[in-house]
Amino acid sequence: MEAPHHNRTVTPDALIEQLAAAVNARRMTVPAILFLEAHKPLTSLFHTAAVMSLPMLLPLFGARARELPAFLQSRDNVERLIRRIEELAGEGGSG
């Protein structure tokens, strides 16, 4: 019998929203933005590392780990995440 297949993929927009909300809820706005801005030039390297380490990430993060390499493939996704974190911090006043 074949194992159940995870067909539901999360769009980059949904992932950005989830990550930004998690950062905002933990009041980690400033550290997250600093980290993302500092490492934005290395996005393609992180994409490659995520692809190579996917077998190790799956047990920790489950099927959601499969979304990370696709997300990191575009530097624009990281920029959009930064903007959304800033928006949420402005709305809620946390950070």
Question: Is the pLDDT at 2 greater than 50, yes or no?
Answer: no
Q: Quick one: pLDDT at residue 93?
A: 54
C-alpha 91/C-alpha 57 separation (Å) is: 33
Question: Is the pLDDT at 7 greater than 70, yes or no?
Answer: no
Residue boundaries of the structural domains of the chain? 12-90
Please give the model's pTM, rounded to 2 decimal places: 0.75
- Round the average pLDDT of the chain to a whole number and report it: 84
Give φ, ψ of 47 to 5 degrees: -60, -50
Question: Is the pLDDT at 3 greater than 60, yes or no?
Answer: no
Q: Quick one: pLDDT at residue 10?
A: 76
Tens digits of per-residue pLDDT, 15-60? 899 889 999 999 999 999 999 999 888 888 988 998 899 898 888 7
